[in-house]
Amino acid sequence: MSLIGWMVRPYRRYAEFDGRSRRREFWAFVVFYWLVTAAIIGAFGRPMTVRWPFGYSFSLWLPQGSVGGWVSGLFWALSIVPFLALGVRRLHDVDRSGWWLLAWFMPMFGWAVLLVFACLDGSVGRNRYGTDPKGRMTVDMYR
């Protein structure tokens, strides 16, 4: 499958929370999401300066205005369910429950744990969530 195929595969498996997904599918979708977000910001964005106390300020390039806000909001709304389903399937591939996605709400520690899970290779062979998406097999002697 081509890289573009891996990038859009989560949209084809829109709300499929069962089964397993490879690292390639997960990271290709993350790259695709950020590339489209960067394109939206580039097309509809403009600089916004944020001023903090004591003279500290910085500029951000944000999608402002009615069109930029609507386009970025629509893309986020179209992508949130596939991203959650992909996250659950990715956790299933490393033999973890999808409830681990709630670790996202624990800043720093939870994010680090989810990053490690996203980077780990999936379990070889069949696990409790399905068959190996890479097609690797193990001999099950005690079946």
pLDDT of residue 29: 94
Euclidean distance between CA atoms 12 and 126, whole angstroms: 23
- Does pLDDT of 70 surpass 70? yes
Average pLDDT over residues 108-124: 90
Q: pLDDT tens-digit profile of 5-48? A: 888 888 988 888 998 998 999 999 999 999 998 888 888 877 77
List Cα–Cα distances, 138 to 24, 30, 131, 135, in angstroms.
21, 30, 11, 10
- Confidence label for 2 from pLDDT (cuts 50, 70 and 90): confident
| Main-chain phi, psi angles of 20, to 5 degrees | -135, 155
Task: Yes or no: say if 134 and 122 are a contact pair by the CB < 8 Å rule.
Answer: yes
